[in-house]
Amino acid sequence: MTHTSTSFPDGFLWGASTAAHQIEGNNVNSDWWRKEHDPAAGIAEPSLDACDSYHRWEQDMDLLASLGFTDYRFSVEWARIEPVRGTFSRAEIAHYRRMVEGALARGLRPMVTLHHFTVPQWFEDLGGWTADGATDLFARYVEQCAPIIGEGVAHVCTINEPNMIAVMAGLAKSGEKGFPPAGLPTPDEETTHAIIAAHHAAMKAVRAINPDIKAGWTIANQVYQALPGADDVTVAYRHPREDVFIEAARGDDWIGVQSYTRTKIGADGPVPAPENAERTLTQWEYYPRAVGHALRHTAEIIGRDMPLIVTENGIATADDNRRADYYAGALDEVAAGIEDGLNIQGYLAWSALDNYEWGSFKPTFGLIAVDPETFERTAKPSAVWLGGLGRTRELPRTSA
Ligand code: BGC
């Protein structure tokens, strides 16, 4: 049977994602802010005002809703909510509650991420995730988020990309700088254990706030593909970087699947894409089919009953036609997965806005362009097309 489109399953999430530090601006009490201003850290440029979404979130939501999206994933910033250990800002909690209510008022269901890479400086000074008491400190912060997420928030993500956090900790220990390359260097094992414990504590705290919230975490899927004869090497390479975090989601309400490109693995480990392969602005291989592999692999590890939500997927490019082409290829994979009976419950593109890509504004992942001087937002043609699918509630099939 051939299909030209596949209907969204009931309740399917359709939206775009952002993260506080990447769009808000002036996240001055966070570890990243300090790093960005430390010449020894080797960061190309600081986030400064970013997209000024701290003040312009209403415009962002207006645009997303008018484009046809029905869901918006954003994060709340621990460094703002608890700028000093044990001191919680009522004003910041009220700010994020206004965002939740603002989303709902516009017909956007909010998915709230509680931690997306940045921590308060004081937490980093204690030693970060592996410090004594880190889990309890995180759980206490989550409890304090009750007024934000207690009502009207159907989905909460505890921690974004724990595997990237463990890899970044590994990089820091080995004295290397920057954001990890695709394929991922070795994760720090102690951080892996700590972050899994923090997730489980946060799940408990979220359920205590409101047992109806569907909570989970989101994993950076690297789409490791074994070259002939390298199956065992691939499994061994992948396990500490990916599978261990997928396995730790057992018992959660859903799992977030995030993918961008693939990594081929040969007998000696990762093999770079050929010189002539098309690359994006992050230098990753252009590979729209990544998400299909990521969804199938996640289901294989955790079991087919676990709800899968694509919580990030996209491309950094200055050519919006390539972005549209990437999304068409990716959605074809999502549709094929749904037809094959995978329990896919949503698709959230990365990213709503061109934003601060962890060290630089140059890799533009946004569906919406942001003028760096005036902060004026302009939806790109890919956003008009992608958002519009939310009105028909149909995923196009390009390969059927
Ligand atoms: C992160 C985002 C990031 C994106 C592109 C993911 O690793 O969750 O914060 O901007 O991928 O690199």
Over the stretch 244-261, which tens digit does the pLDDT of each residue have?
999 999 999 999 999 999
Tell me which of 161, 167, 311 to substitute to probe ligand 1's pocket, judged by most ligand atoms within 8 Å of the beta carbon: 161
β-sheet bridge partners, residue 89: none
Nearest CA owner, ligand 1 atom 12 = 357
- Strand order from edge to edge, sheet including 263-266: 224-226, 263-266, 269-271
Q: Strand pairing of 5-7 and 394-396?
A: antiparallel
| DSSP structure string for 347-399 | EEEE-SB----SS-S-S---SEEE-TTT--EEE-HHHHHHHHHHHHTEEE-S-
**CA-CA distance, 257 to 219, in Å (whole number)?**
6
- List, for residues 150-161, the tens digit of each pLDDT value: 999 999 999 999
Residue 77 contacts residue 91 (beta carbons within 8 Å)? no
* Tokens, residue 284: 């990753």
* Tokens, residue 245: 């975090």
Nearest CA owner, ligand 1 atom 5 = 357
Ligand 1, closest atom to CA 220? 7
Residue 349 contacts residue 359 (beta carbons within 8 Å)? no
354 lines ligand 1 (CB under 6 A): no
Full domain range(s) for residue 382: 2-399
How many CB atoms are located within 10 Å of the residue 34 CB?
Answer: 14
CA of 269 to the centre of ligand 1 (A): 23
CA of 2 to the centre of ligand 1 (A): 34
**CA-CA distance, 314 to 312, in Å (whole number)?**
7
332 lines ligand 1 (CB under 6 A): no
Over the range 141-178, which residues count as b (16 or more CB within 10 Å of their CB) and which as e? Answer: bbebbeebbeeebbbbbbbbbbbbbbbbbbbeeeeeee
CA of 229 to the centre of ligand 1 (A): 31
CA of 373 to the centre of ligand 1 (A): 24
CA of 258 to the centre of ligand 1 (A): 9
CA of 315 to the centre of ligand 1 (A): 10
Q: What share of the chain is helix, strand, coil (3-state, %, to 5)?
A: 40, 20, 40
Q: What is the pLDDT of residue 2?
A: 58
| H-run or E-run covering 71 | strand 71-75
Nearest CA owner, ligand 1 atom 9 = 19
353 lines ligand 1 (CB under 6 A): no
Q: Coil, strand or helix: which one is 256?
A: strand
Which CATH number fits the domain that encloses residue 184?
3.20.20.80
**CA-CA distance, 103 to 322, in Å (whole number)?**
29
Nearest CA owner, ligand 1 atom 1 = 161
pLDDT tens track of the chain, all 400 residues? 457 999 999 999 999 999 999 999 999 999 999 999 999 999 999 999 999 999 999 999 999 999 999 999 999 999 999 999 999 999 999 999 999 999 999 999 999 999 999 999 999 999 999 999 999 999 999 999 999 999 999 999 999 999 999 999 999 888 887 788 878 899 999 999 999 999 999 999 999 999 999 999 999 999 999 999 999 999 999 999 999 999 999 999 999 999 999 999 999 999 999 999 999 999 999 999 999 999 999 999 999 999 999 999 999 999 999 999 999 999 999 999 999 999 999 999 999 999 999 999 999 999 999 999 999 999 999 999 999 999 999 999 998 6
Q: How many domains does the chain have?
A: 1
70 lines ligand 1 (CB under 6 A): no
How many CB atoms are located within 10 Å of the residue 15 CB?
Answer: 28
Q: Coil, strand or helix: which one is 215?
A: strand
161 lines ligand 1 (CB under 6 A): yes
Tell me which of 27, 312, 315, 351 to substitute to probe ligand 1's pocket, judged by most ligand atoms within 8 Å of the beta carbon: 312
Ligand 1, closest atom to CA 160? 8
* Tokens, residue 320: 């919006």
Q: What is the pLDDT of residue 180?
A: 85
Q: Is the model's pTM score more than 0.95?
A: yes
How many residues are listed for the chain in this entry?
400
Q: Any idea what DSSP says for residue 279?
A: B
213 lines ligand 1 (CB under 6 A): no
350 lines ligand 1 (CB under 6 A): yes
CA of 282 to the centre of ligand 1 (A): 11
312 lines ligand 1 (CB under 6 A): yes
How many CB atoms are located within 10 Å of the residue 231 CB?
Answer: 11
**CA-CA distance, 383 to 324, in Å (whole number)?**
8
- For the chain, percent of residues with pLDDT exceeding 90: 95
| H-run or E-run covering 218 | strand 214-220
* Tokens, residue 66: 């008018």
